[in-house]
Amino acid sequence: MLVGAGVKNGKVVTQIGFSADTFGIFNPSSGKLEPVFFVENGQVFMNEAFISKAYIEKLLIGMEIRSKKYEKGKSGYRLDAETGSAEFNKLEVYGNFKISGDAGKVLLDETGLMIYDSSGRWAVKVGRRP
């Protein structure tokens, strides 16, 4: 364990460091040595966390992303990372919007809505309302 303190640019600077194969914080209130979190080989493991705001450069999702109040067919949204399906119970789109699916492609832009069949020919065209 390393503990240090010094003065840098007129301010006290403190440091605490640990050298261990595994580092963990355990929960004594449960009466068991269950880890709150632990660090092993440069990775942090925790079962649950509340984060107010996060800036994430890269995110790998194993199962799903969903809103806190998601209810199938009624409210919120869900993105299934395993199947690629998505459900948005309210979706407002401004500007250019493109969707591709099994039947072809749906294009919604400033000219209106066009639905294409699987060979790329447009099947339905709805012009923009004045």
- Parallel, antiparallel, or unpaired for β 86-88 and 64-66? unpaired
- Report residue 26's pLDDT band, with 50, 70 and 90 as the boundaries: confident
Residue type at position 50: F
Amino acid 100: pLDDT: 57
CA distance 103 to 119: 9
Amino acid 25: pLDDT: 80
Containing 86, the helix (H) or strand (E) segment is strand 86-88
Paired with 127 in beta bridges are: 112
Tokens representing 50? 């509340």
Whether residue 109 contacts residue 126, with contact meaning beta carbons closer than 8 Å, is answered with no
Tell whether the model's pLDDT for residue 70 goes beyond 80. yes
Amino acid 113: pLDDT: 76
Whether residue 108 contacts residue 116, with contact meaning beta carbons closer than 8 Å, is answered with no
Average pLDDT of the chain is: 82
